[in-house]
Amino acid sequence: MRIIQTFLSEDELTTAQVRERLPDVPVATLYRHVAELVTGNLLQIVREEKIRGTSARTYRLALELAQLDAQTVAAMSAEELQAAFGLFSAGLSADLGRYLQQPHLNPLDDGLTFAQIAVYASSEQYQQLMTTWHAALEALMKQGPAPDRQRRILATIMVPVPQLTSEVDQ
């Protein structure tokens, strides 16, 4: 997670640059985790250079996994979905971290919130919610910066929860 968060603040990094930013992580551990992130398609190799007989790779986050359309999600494996969600979560965590580094925090006035709720909805009710939600957000998303507007990040996660047998019987 820390490696991903490091990449969220930079466009591209070499393993040596990541090592500079995470000096407390043992070198072997760092290389192993970078390799796992590449295997999991969270990091992409953008360049490879030969330096003194070794290969120096430059990586970037696979940011296309942070925002996926419905067709892409439908075609993804469980492992790919987990990787995409990990990147999405890391991005949110990094955004919150940047907010929390401000010298004068005012979460209430700034509108910082995060919550988790559960609702029961039919497919039709869920689609109506999404249609209404998208319509309400569309106007705001078209607006640009202005002196009286603060940029805000709205993240949504809708996870269908498998029904318990007792719920189905009701």
Examine the pLDDT at 67 and tell me if it is beyond 80.
no
Whole-structure pTM over 0.85, yes or no? no
**Residue 64's pLDDT is what?**
63
- pLDDT tens-digit series, residues 19-64: 998 999 999 999 999 998 888 778 889 999 888 888 889 999 876 6
- pLDDT tens-digit series, residues 50-59: 888 888 899 9
Whole-angstrom distance, CA of residue 150 vs CA of residue 167? 43
**Residue 79's pLDDT is what?**
85
User: How many Cα atoms within 13 Å fall on the side-chain side of residue 126?
Assistant: 9
Q: What is the mean pLDDT of the chain?
A: 84
Is residue 13 a contact partner of residue 6, using CB atoms and an 8 Å limit? yes
Instruction: Tokens for 31, please give them.
Output: 């290389």
Query: DSSP readout, 16-68?
Result: HHHHHH-TTS-HHHHHHHHHHHHHTTSEEEEEEEEETTEEEEEEEE-GGGTS-
pLDDT band at 125 (very low <50, low <70, confident <90, very high): very high
Which amino acid, residue 86? G
126 to each of 23, 53, 91, 135, how far by Cα in Å? 47, 57, 26, 14
Whole-angstrom distance, CA of residue 25 vs CA of residue 9? 18
**Closest Cα partner for 157 from 102, 115, 127?**
115
Helices then strands, each counted (H, E), the chain: 8, 3
Backbone angles phi, psi at 99, to 5 degrees: -60, -45
Whole-angstrom distance, CA of residue 98 vs CA of residue 121? 35
- pLDDT tens-digit series, residues 70-114: 787 888 888 888 877 887 787 788 778 888 988 999 999 888 998
| 3-class state of residue 165 by DSSP | helix
pLDDT band at 165 (very low <50, low <70, confident <90, very high): low
110 to each of 47, 51, 57, how far by Cα in Å? 40, 48, 40
